[in-house]
């Protein structure tokens, strides 16, 4: 709320530490919501962004566009569809966060007034009920529901994959393992497969093709993701398997599998695997994964350097790590010299304070208060 860092407590050891970058200001966040992916989300009260905390990696980041103003939202809640929703206090619309993508948006019609609603509660029917604070009525929010027959359709595809019924193709991994598949499913999910089966080439009529996958276990997971969008009966992949799946997803241009793999990797960062993840993120030009891996590495650099994998880090990435380390030191030094450090609660500052904050950064400080805020938040 008024503290400057997220506080992390390890119940197993009793260790307590501050994580993430400093966040000056008052009444920044109040209550939290735990998403199904294990991340924690806080809606902004006087802060300017939604806050996302990944407990498995210690990563703390602000997501979505900046939202000026005070007393915007109080308590977020996990909706039945897996998204996080926050009801408006002084804000004018419901806030929705998609944990799978990090997307933040405002939904529904505008609701005018101040101190409108306090804490929401999700009922068994999936609706979210919000008690009025200064509003005139109880508010009921009905989150979008998935199609009721979706699970049946996915079960049907899963059964087709497991039984091989009506299959017209065999796919093989490099270790010689073979699984039956359906050209229609593969072509509908991947433009590479679609071109392969449509073009006048050998694969158009072939009933057996080799994939850029090394083992039976990874082949099974890849097909399960293609058919159902989840791991299905396959075990949850280890990090090395997930890295191979990510590379296969990029090779066959299956963006959905790539997103699942990236999220799984981010949730499983560790000092003994972060080098491999950083290398693959760099090689595939997956900037979000690469940057998060680099951030994790910088927070745990001494421990990472003690691992055997550190010696395998390519020279160009070693240079990036060194540059990032210099940047951290420079940023800390510069922040210490500022009257108003980076991450300050700009919305809580007066116009003269905003002008001083811009001046000490060598930025122009003329214009309206809104213009000054935009300049600092850019």
**pLDDT tens track for 224-258:** 999 988 776 666 789 999 999 999 999 999 998 99
Residues above pLDDT 90, as percent of the chain: 37
Q: Are 239 and 193 in contact (CB under 8 A)?
A: no
Closest CA to 292 of 323, 263, 325, 253: 263
pLDDT one-digit tens code per residue, 15-48? 888 898 888 889 999 889 999 888 999 999 999 9
Alpha-carbon Rg for the chain, nearest whole angstrom, is 25
The residue ranking higher by pLDDT, 108 or 219, is 219
What lies within 8 Å, CB to CB, of 243 at 6+ separation is 261, 265, 276, 277, 280
Structural tokens at position 323: 């540059």
Tally of domains in the chain: 2
342: pLDDT strictly greater than 90: no
Q: Are 87 and 98 in contact (CB under 8 A)?
A: no
Q: Are 342 and 303 in contact (CB under 8 A)?
A: no
Answer whether residue 326 is part of any domain: no
Q: Measured between alpha carbons, how far is 273 from 227 in angstroms, rounded to an integer?
A: 29
Answer whether residue 119 is part of any domain: yes
Q: Distance from first CA to last CA of the chain, Å, rounded? A: 24
119: pLDDT strictly greater than 80: no
Residue at a domain's end among 108, 126, 141 = 141
Answer whether residue 114 is part of any domain: yes
- DSSP letter at 308 equals G
Of the listed ranges 110-119, 191-200, 256-265, the one predicted with least confidence: 110-119
What lies within 8 Å, CB to CB, of 176 at 6+ separation is none
Answer whether residue 368 is part of any domain: yes
Structural tokens at position 329: 């030191």
Q: Which domain holds residue 116?
A: 6-141
Answer whether residue 164 is part of any domain: no
Residue at a domain's end among 121, 141, 161 = 141
pLDDT computed for residue 337 by the predictor: 67
Average pLDDT of the residues in 256-277: 91
Alpha helices (H) in the chain, listed in sequence order: 150-163, 183-189, 191-198, 202-205, 216-228, 239-251, 255-266, 274-283, 287-299, 301-305, 315-337, 351-359, 369-377
Answer whether residue 366 is part of any domain: yes
pLDDT computed for residue 29 by the predictor: 92
Residues above pLDDT 70, as percent of the chain: 92
CATH value at residue 74: 2.130.10.10
Other Cβ atoms less than 10 A from the Cβ of 221: the count is: 28
334: pLDDT strictly greater than 70: no
Residue at a domain's end among 141, 164, 199 = 141
Burial classification of residue 303, based on how many CB atoms lie within 10 Å of its CB (0-12 exposed, 13-18 middle, 19 or more buried): middle
């Amino acid at each position: 709320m008024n503290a400057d860092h997220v506080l992390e407590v390890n119940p197993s050891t009793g260790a307590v530490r501050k994580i993430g970058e400093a966040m000056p200001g008052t009444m920044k966040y109040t209550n939290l919501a735990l998403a199904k992916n294990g991340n924690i989300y806080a809606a902004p009260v006087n802060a300017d962004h939604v806050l996302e905390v990944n407990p498995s990696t210690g990563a703390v980041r602000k997501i979505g566009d900046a939202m000026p103003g005070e007393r915007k939202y109080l308590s977020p809640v996990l909706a039945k569809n897996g998204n996080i929703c926050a009801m408006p206090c002084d804000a004018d619309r419901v806030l929705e966060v998609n944990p799978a993508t990090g997307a933040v948006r405002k939904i529904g019609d505008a609701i005018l007034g101040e101190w409108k609603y306090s804490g929401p509660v999700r009922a068994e029917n999936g609706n979210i009920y919000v008690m009025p604070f200064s509003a005139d009525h109880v508010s009921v929010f009905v989150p979008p529901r998935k199609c009721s027959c979706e699970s049946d359709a996915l079960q049907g595809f899963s059964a087709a994959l497991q039984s091989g019924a009506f299959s017209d193709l065999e796919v093989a991994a490099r270790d010689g393992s073979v699984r039956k598949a359906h050209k229609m499913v593969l072509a509908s999910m991947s433009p590479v497969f679609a071109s392969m089966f449509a073009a006048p080439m050998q694969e158009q009529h072939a009933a057996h093709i080799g994939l850029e996958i090394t083992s039976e276990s990874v082949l099974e997971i890849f097909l399960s993701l293609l058919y159902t969008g989840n791991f299905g009966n396959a075990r949850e992949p280890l990090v090395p398997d997930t890295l191979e799946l990510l590379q296969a997803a990029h090779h066959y241009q299956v963006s959905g599998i790539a997103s699942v793999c990236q999220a799984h990797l981010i949730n499983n960062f560790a000092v003994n695997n972060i080098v491999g993840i950083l290398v693959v993120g760099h090689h595939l030009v997956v900037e979000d994964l690469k940057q998060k891996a680099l951030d994790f590495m910088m927070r745990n650099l001494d421990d990472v350097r003690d691992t055997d994998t550190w010696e395998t880090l390519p020279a160009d990435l070693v240079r990036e790590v060194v540059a990032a380390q210099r940047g951290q030191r420079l940023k800390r030094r510069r922040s210490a010299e500022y009257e108003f450090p980076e991450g300050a609660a700009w919305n809580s500052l007066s116009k003269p304070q905003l002008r001083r904050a811009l001046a000490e950064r060598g930025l122009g400080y003329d214009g309206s208060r809104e213009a000054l805020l935009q300049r600092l938040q850019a």
